[in-house]
């Protein structure tokens, strides 16, 4: 069997994957600026956000990169069991470490955890075990963890399509989801935030969803073809129910997020000859048009301006396109390195912000110096968390994944 190409974030293969790491690094910096600007550049942020939603820009770039990488990772391995082993050790260890640090800091009075909206810490913690907490009627311990819930939903859908042998239909899936988003927005179809949790109760929904997810992962990882298909379908149904019916973002945006990730997959297929560039271009046109139309035509309240969201979305797609067009060019090593630690940057910066709020508080006026100082402290810390948390856990995950491979 030929050697497997390295994944982004590894030391091997910078020419092939460097552009993806660069995109992740840029996205991480933008998200950090969006959140840290509350503390250090509040006046500038108030002027900028209605015109350009920096947070949505960063996460859309992340979602495009995930869509490009994740299904390819599963298909390269050809084993659902190996895929889940790799994902668990890639995502969970740092997430658990960061949440643990936040809880300790909260107990010491150095930083405060987010308002849990009246939920007990035990219920919220139980929801976090699945990483679907934002789709289960509970708030995340850290604001940024909401995107991991949509990532997990995407993983479930990717596995579902793989088990029923429809994984090559990424473009069709992206177009369908984007169309549903546009239809729901223009028709004024709205679902109350956490509607399922309100209907059946948060505790019961968390219990049912946790059982369903555990069953889906275990069955999809089994050797029996019937169990694999059953587990894959169960996980896919769980994702398709929770995202539109129990998300914390509007229904149309939840569907757009999934469509964007599958659009990233469609681009990967075109690049590797599994589809045509013409089909990928058509997919891009439909997804972009439906996303913009959904944002412009939706009714109801949203925590962002239409213009700010649309500009951010279009710039995210443009950034991904520029990265793709430049993929054979040499990428600066510092930018690749930033991409390598981007997951740490994404998860650690809210903790540092919480400590900042709990000690020195927010700046009374815009201070570019304090903003720069925040980055100067954050990045070395993230190098350490990558080295001592991420890298070892990923190495363990790769070892476990090799053991989980079928003979």
pLDDT, one tens digit per residue, over 46-84 is 999 889 999 999 999 999 999 999 999 899 888 899 999
Domain parsing of the chain, residue ranges: 15-87+304-407
CA angle 290, 292, 298 (to 5 degrees): 90
Whole-angstrom distance, CA of residue 397 vs CA of residue 164: 26
| Contact call for residues 338 and 15 (beta carbons, < 8 A) | no
pTM of the model as a whole: 0.92
pLDDT digits (tens, 9 = 90+) for 277-332: 999 999 999 999 999 999 887 755 566 688 999 999 999 999 999 999 998 889 99
Ordered per-residue pLDDT tens for the chain, 407 residues:
333 334 444 434 444 578 999 999 999 999 999 999 989 999 999 999 889 999 999 999 999 999 999 999 899 888 899 999 989 999 999 999 998 898 888 888 887 666 666 677 778 888 889 999 999 988 888 889 999 999 999 999 999 999 999 999 999 999 999 999 999 888 766 666 677 888 888 889 999 999 999 999 999 999 899 999 999 999 999 999 999 989 888 889 999 999 999 999 999 999 999 999 999 999 999 999 999 999 887 755 566 688 999 999 999 999 999 999 998 889 999 999 999 999 999 999 999 998 888 788 788 889 999 999 999 999 999 999 999 999 999 998 888 777 766 65
In angstroms, rounded to a whole number, what is the distance separating the alpha carbons of residues 232 and 227? 8
Q: How many CB atoms lie within 10 A of CB 168?
A: 16
Dihedral (CA of 79, 81, 82, 87) sign = positive
């Amino acid at each position: 069997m030929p050697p497997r190409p390295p994944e982004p974030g590894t030391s091997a293969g910078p020419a092939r994957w460097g552009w993806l790491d660069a995109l992740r690094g840029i996205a991480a910096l933008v998200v950090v600026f969006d959140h840290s600007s509350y503390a250090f550049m509040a006046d500038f942020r108030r002027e900028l956000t209605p015109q350009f939603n920096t947070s949505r820009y960063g996460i859309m770039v992340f979602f495009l990169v995930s869509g490009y990488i994740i299904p390819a990772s599963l298909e390269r391995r050809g084993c659902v069991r190996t895929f889940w082993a790799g994902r668990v050790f890639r995502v969970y260890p740092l997430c658990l470490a960061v949440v643990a640090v936040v809880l300790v800091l909260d107990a010491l009075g150095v930083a405060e955890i987010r308002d849990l909206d009246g939920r007990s810490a035990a219920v919220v913690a139980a929801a976090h075990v699945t990483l679907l907490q934002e789709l289960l009627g509970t708030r995340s311990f850290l604001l940024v963890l909401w995107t991991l819930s949509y990532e997990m939903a995407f993983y479930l859908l990717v596995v579902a399509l793989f088990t029923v042998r429809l994984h090559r239909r990424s473009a069709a899936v992206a177009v369908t989801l984007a169309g549903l988003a546009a239809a729901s927005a223009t028709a004024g179809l709205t679902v109350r935030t956490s509607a399922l949790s309100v209907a059946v109760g948060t505790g019961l929904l968390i219990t049912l969803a946790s059982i369903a997810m555990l069953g889906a992962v275990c069955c999809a990882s089994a050797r029996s073809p019937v169990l694999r298909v059953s587990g894959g379908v169960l996980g896919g149904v769980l994702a398709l129910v929770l995202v539109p019916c129990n998300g914390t973002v509007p229904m149309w945006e939840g569907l757009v997020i999934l469509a964007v990730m599958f659009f990233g997959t469609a681009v990967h297929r075109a690049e590797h000859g599994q589809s045509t560039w013409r089909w990928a271009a058509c997919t891009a046109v439909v997804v972009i048009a439906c996303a913009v139309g959904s944002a412009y035509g939706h009714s109801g309240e949203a925590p962002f301006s239409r213009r700010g969201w649309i500009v951010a979305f279009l710039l995210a797609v443009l950034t991904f396109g520029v990265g793709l067009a430049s993929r054979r060019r040499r990428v600066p090593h510092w930018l690749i390195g930033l991409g390598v630690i981007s997951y740490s940057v994404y998860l650690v910066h809210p903790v540092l912000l919480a400590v900042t709020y709990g000690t020195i508080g927010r700046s009374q006026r815009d201070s570019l110096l304090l903003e720069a100082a925040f980055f100067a402290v954050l990045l070395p810390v993230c190098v350490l968390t990558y080295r001592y948390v991420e890298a070892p856990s990923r190495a363990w995950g790769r070892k476990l994944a090799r053991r989980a491979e079928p003979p």
